[in-house]
Structure 1
Amino acid sequence: MSSDINYLIACIENSYYYFAMLGSDIHTRASAQGKHMMRTTGHLPPTGRRMTGCLAADGLAPGSRSSAAFVLRASMNARPPSKRSRSPTSRLPPASRTCRKPACRTARQACRCHISRQEDPLMKLAFAQFAPIHGDTAATIDLVAAKAREASAEGARFIAFPECFLTGGSFENREALLAASVDVERGDLAPIIDVSRQTGILVVVGFYQTRGPQALNTAALIGPDGIIGLHHKMHLPFMIGDRFVDIPESSGPSVFETPIGKVGLAICYEIRFPEVARTLALHGAELVVLPAAWPEAARILPDIFSRVRASENFVYFLSSNRNDLDDGMQFMGSSHLIGPDGVELVNAGMADGIFTVDVDLAKARVKSIIRDPGVYEVHPFRDRRPQDYGICGTTP
C-alpha cells in the first residue's frame, strides 16, 4: 500500500504522469515468486492488488473528478480502513498516572518521575481538535493550558494543537495580525509553561508571533523548563494571514531533544516539500509534528501526504488540524497520527476532543526494512546518494 501511495504522491509533487515516471522503457519484470509485475497499465504489488490506468499530475485518474485518495482506493480494490483507525472516538483508556512507583501513586500531587525517559517503551501522545476562542488570544492561551492539563491527567506526555490556534489565521491586513500576535519575550505563553512545569507534559501550539518589527508564523515546543524551541514557517502560501508575515532567517532544522525523544517541527503547507520532513529525519527526529489549518480543499494532504511523509522517513507523523469555521473558511479536521510504516493510528474526523494513542518512538529509529537477512533488505537512508541530488537545490 505504501509503495502505491509513494508513486501517487511523486506524481503530485513533481507534476507529471504516473507512467512517465516509469520511463519510456517500461517492461515486465518478475520476482523469484513471479508475483511482482509492472506494466504500462499499472503496478501489481505483492498483495495482488492492481492500480489500473495511469494517474494524472494532480493525482486524479483521467476523466475522473474524484479525490486522489478515492481513485487510489477504488482502483486497487483495497480493503477499507478499519473502523478503529478512522473512528473519531478511537481513544485508549485513560491512565491515572504514568509513574509506577507506589509512593508516587499515593501522593496527592503529580510526581516528576516521568520527565526523564521512562523504561516502558510505550508513551501516550495526544492531539487536540476543537475551536479556539475567536478574536481573544489571551483566552485561547488559557484554554490551551486547561486542555494540556486535562491531557496530562489522562496520562499523555505530549499534546499538539493546530496552526495559528492561539491567534486565529484569517486577517485582512498586517496591522490586525500584529495586534492579535503573541509576544513570546513578553511572557504571553506563561499559562501554558506553568501547566507544563506542574505536570511535565510537552505542548506544541501554533500562533502568529511578533518579534521586533517582524511578524512570523510560529509553532512553539514547550516543556517543564520553558520554551524548548520555536519553529518559524519558512514556506508561505499567499493566503489568509500568511500574506502578511515575514520569511524568517534560516536557523537550521527544527529538531529538539525532549524527555520523550527527538521532536521535529514543521507547519501546515510545509508538508508539500519533501525536503522539510527528510531534513528533520536526517537530524534524528523520531516524531514530526505538523500543526495545520487545512480547509476541505486540501483533503489530499491528510489523506495521502501525511502517510508518505511518515513512511518515507520512518517517523511518527502527527498533524493537528482545526475543524471550525473561521471568517468563512471551513477547516476539515482529520487530525491524526501516522506510524513509521505509514499506517494511520488514530483519526479525529470532524469530532471535538483530545485524542490519544500509545506509541513506541524507538520504532522510528529503525530506518531499514529487512524481510530476509542477506536476501531481501532495503536501506533507504543508507542507500541515499546526496552527491547526485544537486539539481534539487537549483531553480530551473
Structure 2
Amino acid sequence: MRIINIALGQLGCSHLGMEDTIRQIAEAVEQVGQKKADYLLFPELYLEQEPDQTSLEMIAATAQKHRVGVVLGYCETEQDTRYNTALFIGKNGEILGQYRKIHLLDFERNVFTPGDQCPVFDLPEGKIGLMISYDLMFPEVSRILAIKGAQLLLVLAANKFPPHPHQHVYLSSRALENHVFVAMANKVGLDGNHLYLGESTVVHPNGSTIYKCSNNVELPVISINLDEIEEARGRLDYLKNRRPAVYAKEGFGFTPTESL
C-alpha cells in the first residue's frame, strides 16, 4: 500500500506577532509528527506576511526534526508585487517550491497578482499538487495537475460563514473527475468581523468524504491509500478517454499534439 498521512491544520486566525505565530506552527508540526503525519496542510494566508529567513529556518528545522512536510499559506512579496502563495517545505526541511494562487476574486485583485504555474511535487510518498481556495471552483487547474500526474491535491482555504452552498460539490467533483484525493484545510473562528467556517475535508477519488472537521479548532491526521485510485478510476477513466484534438478544434486552447 502507498499510504500518505495528511494532517489538516484547521487552526484559528493568529493575532500573535510573527515570532509567536512561527512558534505556534512549530508546535503544530511537533504535535502531528507524534501522530506520524507525513505532511501538514495549513489554511490560506495563515501568515498574512512573508516570513523572514530566521522564521523559515525555524519551521524548516522543526519539519526536519519531526519528519513532517509543511504546506504554508502566506503573503509573498517579490519586489513590488504581492502573491497569495503556498510554500512547500519538505520533510528534510528543504524548500520544495511554491504555488501562487491563479484565480483571484475581485477584491483580491486590488492586493495580489495572479500566479501562472501549476507545479506538481514528485515526492517519495506520491505526487502532490496545490490549489488555493477560489481555484477549487475552476476545473482547469485540478485537471492540469491530474494530467501532470498528481495523485493528491492539497487546497488551502479561508472560507467564511455563511458557507458557500456548493463547497462540498466542488471538492467531490475535483476528486471524482480527476481520479485524485483532495484535502482542504480551512481557517476557523472569529477574525475581526469575519467568522471562518472550518469544516476542513478529505475526499476520496470516488467522490465520497473520508473525513470532515467540525467548526472548531482541529488538527487531525488522515491516512489515505493511493492504491485506491486505480479502483476508483475503473472503466470510466476520464483522463484516458479525453479528446484533446476535439477540444483544440473547438478553440479550447490546446493543439492536438499537446498532452493537455
- TM-score, L = length of structure 2: 0.89
Q: CA deviation at 1:287?
A: 0.8
Q: 1:301 to 1:134 in 2, by over 3 A?
A: farther
Q: CA deviation at 1:229?
A: 1.3
Q: Does 1:152 align with 2:33?
A: yes
CA distance in 1, matches of 2:112, 2:199: 26
Aligned residue in 2 for 1:202: 69
CA distance in 2, matches of 1:197, 1:229: 16
- Alignment of structure 1 residues 305-384 onto 2, 5 Å: 305-364=170-229, 368-369=233-234, 377-384=235-242
Q: Any conservation in 1 of the 2:142–2:174 contact (CA below 8 Å)?
A: yes
2:15 to 117, 121, 134: 134
Matched position secondary structure for 2:129: strand
Matched position secondary structure for 2:50: coil
Q: 1:242 to 1:207 in 2, by over 3 A?
A: farther
Bigger relative contact order (CA 8 A; separation at least 6): 2
Aligned residue in 2 for 1:233: 101
Q: CA deviation at 1:298?
A: 4.3
Matched position secondary structure for 1:278: helix
Q: CA deviation at 1:359?
A: 1.2
Runs of 5+ consecutive residues of structure 2 not aligned to the other structure: 255-260
- TM-score, L = length of structure 1: 0.60
Matched position secondary structure for 1:337: strand
Aligned residue in 2 for 1:213: 80
Q: Any conservation in 1 of the 2:8–2:220 contact (CA below 8 Å)?
A: yes
Any idea what the Cα deviations from partners look like across 1:96-128, whole Å, max 9, x if unmatched? xxxxxxxxxxxxxxxxxxxxxxxx533422101
Aligned residue in 1 for 2:136: 271
Aligned residue in 2 for 1:106: none
Aligned residue in 2 for 1:189: 56
Name the count of aligned residue pairs. Answer: 251
Work out which of the two has the higher radius of gyration on C-alpha atoms and give 1 or 2. 1
CA distance in 2, matches of 1:351, 1:259: 32
CA distance in 2, matches of 1:286, 1:385: 21
Q: Any conservation in 2 of the 1:323–1:350 contact (CA below 8 Å)?
A: yes
Q: Any conservation in 1 of the 2:157–2:184 contact (CA below 8 Å)?
A: yes
Q: Any conservation in 2 of the 1:255–1:284 contact (CA below 8 Å)?
A: yes
2:243 to 382, 385, 391: 385
Q: CA deviation at 1:149?
A: 1.1
Q: Any conservation in 2 of the 1:367–1:381 contact (CA below 8 Å)?
A: no
Q: CA deviation at 1:301?
A: 4.2
Q: CA deviation at 1:133?
A: 1.9
What amino acid sits opposite 2:98 in the alignment? L
What amino acid sits opposite 2:112 in the alignment? V
CA distance in 2, matches of 1:328, 1:156: 33
- Alignment of structure 1 residues 9-88 onto 2, 5 Å: none
Q: 1:384 to 1:187 in 2, by over 3 A?
A: farther
Q: Any conservation in 2 of the 1:183–1:211 contact (CA below 8 Å)?
A: no
Q: 1:187 to 1:285 in 2, by over 3 A?
A: farther
Q: Any conservation in 2 of the 1:182–1:188 contact (CA below 8 Å)?
A: no
CA distance in 1, matches of 2:148, 2:232: 13
Q: 1:264 to 1:141 in 2, by over 3 A?
A: same
CA distance in 2, matches of 1:294, 1:242: 17
Q: Any conservation in 2 of the 1:161–1:206 contact (CA below 8 Å)?
A: yes
What amino acid sits opposite 2:94 in the alignment? G
Q: Any conservation in 1 of the 2:29–2:66 contact (CA below 8 Å)?
A: no
CA distance in 2, matches of 1:364, 1:300: 27
Runs of 5+ consecutive residues of structure 1 not aligned to the other structure: 1-119, 168-180, 370-376
1:287 to 152, 155, 174: 152
> How many percent identity over aligned positions?
26
Q: CA deviation at 1:166?
A: 1.5
What amino acid sits opposite 1:382 in the alignment? K
Q: CA deviation at 1:296?
A: 2.3
What amino acid sits opposite 2:252 in the alignment? C
Q: Any conservation in 1 of the 2:13–2:190 contact (CA below 8 Å)?
A: no
Q: Any conservation in 2 of the 1:368–1:379 contact (CA below 8 Å)?
A: yes
Aligned residue in 1 for 2:113: 246
Q: CA deviation at 1:254?
A: 1.8
CA distance in 2, matches of 1:245, 1:368: 37
Any idea what the Cα deviations from partners look like across 1:156-202, whole Å, max 9, x if unmatched? 111111000122xxxxxxxxxxxxx2056x35322211111112111
